[in-house]
């Protein structure tokens, strides 16, 4: 063992009194450990939240959207066949989108209506699974007359079914619509109830501009996406009904694509642009959700910097520890230099002490952070579950995060050793032994 390492360990390990680290040394190590643990824990929680939100968004929206500058596509069937053959495209379906107003009774709510093809929507969106979460079925959107949920409702309450058939003004053969769970809660309705959907432009053009058009739909199911905004303001109609309701004829708003590798979306989007040629607009999920993902990324960076100050403040404890150690070992330093130790030897000796403290604190912090993440991953949340849809914190740990935090902590620790070690190296033998 080099003498710098041997002497440095002896300086840290007090052999004359308690054989334990001094109080100031323990405080320094704990300061680094708390900072590292806080960084690892908070960043893991934020990674879990971001990834959960990303999964919810990607399940409710297309990975790639192909549209035209005009907003509608007339000859879309051949284009749909072409994009399905592109490498990396796992599924494609036509969609119609429009802003609408939904009413029932005296309640009014603005939302987005999506016209989808029940036969192909499951190849792109997670709508079948989202409907199944609320015990609904996609087949109800294709043929409401054979909807198991509505049939079982009529069997459970034959009296209500009789009154509905005989006395309710609404006909039974209304077109189907599926709505989000929060919209259903807002209107206090269940499958089988009737809602009125109003489009501002579906009635064509009149003397004073676009004419609104309203139509009644029967709720055929309820879906749950995990995103409050979508569940509160989204509804799905059969594609043919949406085209008729919005007076689009055979036109659609866009083609929605699902890809096999979501993080390779830029390269696959370029393939799509090359294959379909000019005259079309191709947007990726990154572009469509740029604002929210940029906000989450900035939030992570800001939190990393803020919590990083804990480690920075703890590094000043290491500075104080090493300075006190140098002042207490002035005579020993002078003796070592008188025996032939160079300035670089003395610098390495005290730098080693600081690095040992930082390493111990970092490893302890990583262990504490890992334990905190494991504990938080099973902790139940008892607030705002109707907004965040979480019963436990979604913690996701990654080796890269642990390595990044450890590297940052060790770098800060190493910087904290520079001044005390240089101060020790400048002590002259004559100064240290003058009064001996």
Parse the chain into domains and list their residue ranges: 3-55+293-432, 63-287
The CA dihedral of 237, 241, 244, 248, to the nearest 10 degrees, is 50
Pairing label, strands 234-238, 107-116: parallel
Pairing label, strands 213-223, 176-180: parallel
> Strand, coil or helix: what is 380?
strand
Q: Which of 67, 64, 70 is nearest to 86 (CA)?
A: 64
Residue 8 pLDDT: 61
- Asked whether the beta carbons of 116 and 127 are under 8 A apart, the reply is yes
Single pTM value for the model: 0.71
Structure letter (DSSP) for residue 279 = S
Q: Which of 121, 67, 13, 133 is nearest to 283 (CA)?
A: 67
Buried b (16+ CB within 10 A) or exposed e, 179-205: bbbbbbebbebebbebbebbbeebeee
Residues β-bridged to residue 221: 178
> What count of residues does the chain have?
436
Structure letter (DSSP) for residue 260 = S
φ, ψ for residue 57, nearest 5 deg: -65, -45
Q: Which residues contact 273 (CB under 8 A, 6 or more apart)?
A: 280, 282
Please give the structure tokens belonging to residue 354.
């600081």
How far from 108 is each of 57, 187, 408, CA to CA, in Å? 26, 9, 53
* Unique residue bearing structure tokens 């999964």: 55
- Asked whether the beta carbons of 136 and 222 are under 8 A apart, the reply is yes
Q: Which of 265, 272, 178, 168 is nearest to 225 (CA)?
A: 178
Please give the structure tokens belonging to residue 73.
């596509």
Residue 53 pLDDT: 78
- Asked whether the beta carbons of 181 and 251 are under 8 A apart, the reply is no
Residue 210 pLDDT: 67
292, containing H or E segment: helix 290-328
Helices (H), 167-227: 181-187
End-to-end CA distance of the chain: 30
- Asked whether the beta carbons of 134 and 183 are under 8 A apart, the reply is no
Residue 19 pLDDT: 47
Structure letter (DSSP) for residue 86 = S
Per-residue confidence of the chain (436 residues) as pLDDT tens digits? Answer: 465 666 666 666 654 544 444 677 788 888 889 989 999 998 898 888 888 877 777 777 888 999 988 888 888 888 888 988 888 888 899 999 989 999 988 889 999 999 999 888 888 888 888 887 777 778 778 777 667 666 565 555 555 554 455 444 555 678 889 999 999 999 998 888 889 999 887 656 666 666 778 889 988 888 988 788 888 999 999 998 998 888 888 889 999 999 888 888 889 999 998 888 888 889 988 888 888 788 878 888 888 888 888 888 878 878 877 777 776 667 776 767 666 777 777 777 777 778 888 888 899 999 999 999 888 887 776 655 555 566 677 888 888 889 999 998 888 888 888 888 887 777 776 665 555 5
* Unique residue bearing structure tokens 């890809």: 259
HSE-CB for 328 with a 13 A CA cutoff: 11
φ, ψ for residue 209, nearest 5 deg: 125, -160
Residue 229 pLDDT: 83
| The Cα angle at residue 326 between residues 325 and 331, in degrees rounded to 5 | 110
Residue 356 pLDDT: 83
Task: Report the chain's C-alpha Rg in angstroms.
Answer: 33
Q: Which of 225, 129, 241, 125 is nearest to 179 (CA)?
A: 225
Pairing label, strands 213-223, 234-238: unpaired
Residue 20 pLDDT: 43
Residue 102 pLDDT: 93
- Asked whether the beta carbons of 240 and 178 are under 8 A apart, the reply is no
Residue 17 pLDDT: 46
Q: Enumerate long-range contacts of 395-398, CB under 8 Å, 24 or more apart.
A: 395/44, 395/45, 395/48, 396/44, 396/47, 396/48, 396/51, 397/40, 397/44, 397/47, 397/370, 397/373, 398/44, 398/47
| The Cα angle at residue 230 between residues 227 and 235, in degrees rounded to 5 | 145
Q: Which of 250, 245, 208, 256 is nearest to 101 (CA)?
A: 245
Measured CA to CA, the distance from residue 31 to residue 305 in angstroms comes to 16
């Amino acid at each position: 063992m080099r003498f710098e390492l041997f002497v440095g360990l002896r300086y840290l390990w007090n052999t004359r009194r308690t054989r334990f680290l001094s109080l100031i040394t323990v405080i320094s190590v704990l300061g680094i450990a708390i900072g590292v643990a806080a960084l690892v824990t908070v960043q893991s929680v934020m990674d879990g939240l971001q990834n959960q939100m990303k999964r919810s968004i990607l399940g409710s929206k297309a990975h790639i959207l192909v549209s035209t500058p005009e907003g509608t596509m007339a000859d879309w069937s051949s284009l749909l066949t072409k994009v399905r053959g592109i490498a990396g495209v796992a599924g494609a379906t036509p969609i119609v989108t429009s802003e609408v107003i939904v009413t029932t009774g005296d309640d009014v709510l603005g939302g987005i209506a999506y016209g989808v093809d029940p036969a192909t929507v499951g190849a792109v969106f997670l709508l079948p699974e989202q409907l199944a979460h609320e015990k609904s079925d996609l087949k109800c959107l294709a043929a409401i007359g054979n909807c198991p949920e509505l049939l079982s409702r009529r069997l459970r309450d034959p009296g209500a079914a009789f009154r509905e058939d005989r006395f309710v003004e609404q006909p039974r053969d209304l077109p189907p619509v599926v709505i989000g769970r929060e919209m259903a809660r807002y209107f206090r309705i269940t499958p089988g109830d009737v809602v009125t959907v109003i489009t501002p432009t579906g009635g064509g053009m009149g003397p004073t501009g676009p004419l609104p058009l309203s139509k009644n739909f029967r709720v055929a199911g309820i879906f749950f996406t995990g995103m409050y905004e979508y569940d509160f303001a989204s509804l799905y109609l059969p594609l043919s009904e949406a085209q008729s309701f919005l007076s689009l004829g055979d036109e659609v708003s866009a083609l929605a694509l699902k890809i096999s590798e979501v993080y390779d979306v830029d390269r696959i989007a370029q393939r799509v642009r090359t294959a379909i040629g000019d005259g079309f607009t191709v947007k990726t999920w990154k572009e469509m959700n740029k604002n929210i993902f940029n906000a989450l990324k900035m939030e992570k960076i800001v939190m990393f910097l803020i919590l990083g100050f804990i480690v920075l403040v703890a590094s000043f404890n290491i500075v104080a520890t090493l300075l006190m150690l140098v002042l207490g070992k002035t005579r020993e330093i002078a003796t070592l230099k008188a025996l032939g130790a160079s300035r670089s030897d003395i610098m390495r000796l005290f730098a080693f002490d600081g690095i040992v403290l930082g390493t111990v604190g970092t490893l302890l912090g990583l262990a504490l952070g890992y334990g905190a993440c494991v504990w938080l991953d099973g902790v139940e949340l008892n607030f705002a579950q109707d907004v965040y849809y979480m019963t436990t914190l979604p913690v996701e740990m990654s080796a890269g995060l642990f390595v990044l935090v450890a590297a940052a902590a060790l770098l800060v620790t190493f910087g904290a050793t520079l001044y005390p070690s240089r101060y020790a190296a400048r002590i002259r033998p004559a100064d240290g032994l003058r009064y001996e």
